Structure 1
Amino acid sequence: MALQDRRVFNLRDFGIKRGLSFGHYRYKAVKPGLESHLHQGALEICFCMKGQQYYKIGEQLYELNGNDIFVVPPDTMHSTGEFPEDKGELFWLQILLDSSVGKLCNMPKKQSDFLLNTLLDKSQCIFKGSFQLKLNLEKLVDYLENVDSMLSKIMIDQLITQLLLETVILSKKTQKSLPSIKLNTLDKYIQKNLFRIIYVDEMANIVGMSTGYFKAWFKKESGMPPKEYVNRLKIEQAKIDLRTTKTVTEVAFGLGFASSQYFATTFKKFTGTTPKSYRRLQREL
């Protein structure tokens, strides 16, 4: 798949009469947040593959982590709230519900209505994805970027159908409602030790795993590598500390960063702004 920052495809340009937008981004740093908007007559399925993303609907804030799926119902105002579009990778697919505009990927109406109504029932719920889903999402990007034959168009129809079917199947699986006990233990440990460098091998030791196995387990549980998870918690604490009389350097060293420069780089990566700018904005509120 082409390594591009962000791609958006108008599905109707590819003969998908009930398709609106299919998109993908892979950000190495945060981007400005999504303004409040809606998709008229269309539901949107968001596949968060890596990192973290927030969606705000009304007063409700939803937090997506790696391998999470979220369905936004049609005609519903949503945004990322006060959060930026986060560092990481996300796909989205928007499908019109009105069958009068045409068939959905040449499926019989009864079948397409079943898939879309099932997804509507799961709107504003977060559920887990799968490895196969990511492969199909990547394949769809490839075919949309390189439509060169009737075979490509057939494959695009088939992949969208597969994505909807697989998403429906995943939505019916029993979901974990609470973080694992081990992850809760690590959260408490990290919070107590935010003032210093926290090493991956010591985190692994706390939950009785080898470092290699721990890295894979942690990423599966939290959707991100251990170091990134720790830094995100440190930056959340930094936001609180920057509202005090402490200098940026004091905040940086107080959270175990080796230098104020590294702290500023990390802070901007996860918030989209520098510590000094963040402090100034908070004081102007």
Structure 2
Amino acid sequence: MDVKTHERIVIDLQEYGVERGLSFGHYRYNEVKPGLASHQHQGALEICYCMKGQQHYKIDDDLYELNGNDILIVSPDTIHSTGEFPEDKGELFWIQILLCPTYGKLCNLPNQHSEFLINTLLERSEYIFKGAFQLKLILEKLVLQFKKDDSILSRIMVNQLLTELLLETVLLSQKKLKLSPSKKMNTLNSYIIQNLHRIIYVDELAKVVSMSTGYFKAWFKETAGMPPKEYVNRIKIEQAKVDLQNSKSVTKVAFDLGFSTSQYFATTFKKFTGYTPSSFIYSQS
């Protein structure tokens, strides 16, 4: 059964002739939503494509943090959730593929090709790896296809696009993983932490790493998966969670973290946590 709203869609792939497809989903949230409860996908692997913002997954006892342009594959029958975290502000796609060959051919591929794709993806499960721009294009084309009337042509297009998506995912999964953040990001993180008490401007961050402002914005979004302003605000809100437990004055915490008004602070805090500052304080008591 398909579920479609202006923020979220969930598509039953079986209804579009994808024999070993379970579901395809997409959300674009402007504020956090309640977290995902513990669940599992019986006999199906799940690939999560975090395009913007941040998302957390708790798989068994391990916690994974996805930022923009990150991909995570969840093994079949694995219990997972967002842990104590909400579904975050941002954009995320996911697809679930059934493993058992008795369901049919994957995207009409020969069995040998289907098993190769699935087994290669399974080998990269529970690893976070980076995506690429072409994935976004494929995923958006899929969303457009699902908005069209079901037809033989649309089914052919869906299977073709899914094949492209899985191939690109396999290729990206085999690239060497980065073991640590770049030196530039480490420098920026240190600078942000030292200046949390005031407004931090994008042009000054660009100067810290000797880049033009225009180039810095593009580089930062590609590297961190979100714009610099959102990144700074996320760090400030994490600090605010600590400060609100020590100081019950929301206004003081807001001004100590460089927010111009307590109202703007409260709006930002709720956007990234799902709580107002006051309700957060109450939840911690």
Give the TM-score range, shorter chain: over 0.9
Residue by residue over 1:232-255, the C-alpha shift from the partner in whole angstroms, topping out at 9 and shown as x without a partner, is: 000000000010134000100010
Q: Which amino acid aligns with 1:67?
A: N
Q: Which amino acid aligns with 2:60?
A: G
Residue by residue over 1:106-156, the C-alpha shift from the partner in whole angstroms, topping out at 9 and shown as x without a partner, is: 111110000000000000001111111110111011111203431111011
CA distance in 2, matches of 1:149, 1:280: 53
1:44 maps onto 2:50 in alignment: no
Task: Determine the structure 2 residue equivalent to 1:115.
Answer: 117
Task: Determine the structure 1 residue equivalent to 2:221.
Answer: 219
For the structure 1 residues 14 and 248, does the alpha-carbon distance in structure 2 shift closer, same or farther, using more than 3 Å as the test? same
Q: Is the 8 A contact 1:143 1:155 kept in 2?
A: yes
For the structure 1 residues 3 and 35, does the alpha-carbon distance in structure 2 shift closer, same or farther, using more than 3 Å as the test? closer
Identity of aligned residues (%): 68
Residue by residue over 1:47-101, the C-alpha shift from the partner in whole angstroms, topping out at 9 and shown as x without a partner, is: 0001100000122110101111100000000001111111110000000000011
Q: Is the 8 A contact 2:51 2:92 kept in 1?
A: yes
Task: Determine the structure 1 residue equivalent to 2:263.
Answer: 261
Task: Determine the structure 1 residue equivalent to 2:190.
Answer: 188
Q: Is the 8 A contact 2:248 2:281 kept in 1?
A: no
Task: Determine the structure 1 residue equivalent to 2:71.
Answer: 69
CA distance in 2, matches of 1:3, 1:67: 24
Instruction: Note the C-alpha offset of 1:271.
Output: 0.2
Residue by residue over 1:7-41, the C-alpha shift from the partner in whole angstroms, topping out at 9 and shown as x without a partner, is: 01000111112111100001111111111100000
Residue by residue over 1:183-210, the C-alpha shift from the partner in whole angstroms, topping out at 9 and shown as x without a partner, is: 0000011011101111111100010001
Instruction: Note the C-alpha offset of 1:258.
Output: 0.5
Partner of residue 8 from structure 1, selected from 10, 19, 24: 10
Partner of residue 23 from structure 1, selected from 5, 22, 25: 25
Task: Determine the structure 1 residue equivalent to 2:137.
Answer: 135
Task: Determine the structure 2 residue equivalent to 1:249.
Answer: 251
Q: Is the 8 A contact 1:48 1:91 kept in 2?
A: yes
Q: Is the 8 A contact 2:36 2:81 kept in 1?
A: yes
Task: Determine the structure 2 residue equivalent to 1:54.
Answer: 56
Task: Determine the structure 1 residue equivalent to 2:89.
Answer: 87
* 1:147-162 equivalent positions in 2, closer than 5 A: 147-162=149-164
Partner of residue 167 from structure 1, selected from 166, 169, 180: 169
Partner of residue 274 from structure 1, selected from 256, 268, 276: 276
Q: Which amino acid aligns with 1:23?
A: G
Residue by residue over 1:150-188, the C-alpha shift from the partner in whole angstroms, topping out at 9 and shown as x without a partner, is: 111101111111111110011011121211000000001
Gaps of 5+ in 2: none
Counterpart secondary structure, 2:106: coil
Q: Is the 8 A contact 1:49 1:67 kept in 2?
A: yes
For the structure 1 residues 149 and 58, does the alpha-carbon distance in structure 2 shift closer, same or farther, using more than 3 Å as the test? closer
TM-score by length of 2: 0.97
Instruction: Note the C-alpha offset of 1:3.
Output: 9.2
CA distance in 2, matches of 1:246, 1:279: 7
Q: Which amino acid aligns with 1:27?
A: Y
Q: Is the 8 A contact 1:147 1:153 kept in 2?
A: no
CA distance in 2, matches of 1:170, 1:29: 29
CA RMSD of aligned residues (A): 1.1
Q: Which amino acid aligns with 2:55?
A: Q
CA distance in 2, matches of 1:94, 1:148: 20
CA distance in 1, matches of 2:164, 2:109: 11
Task: Determine the structure 1 residue equivalent to 2:206.
Answer: 204
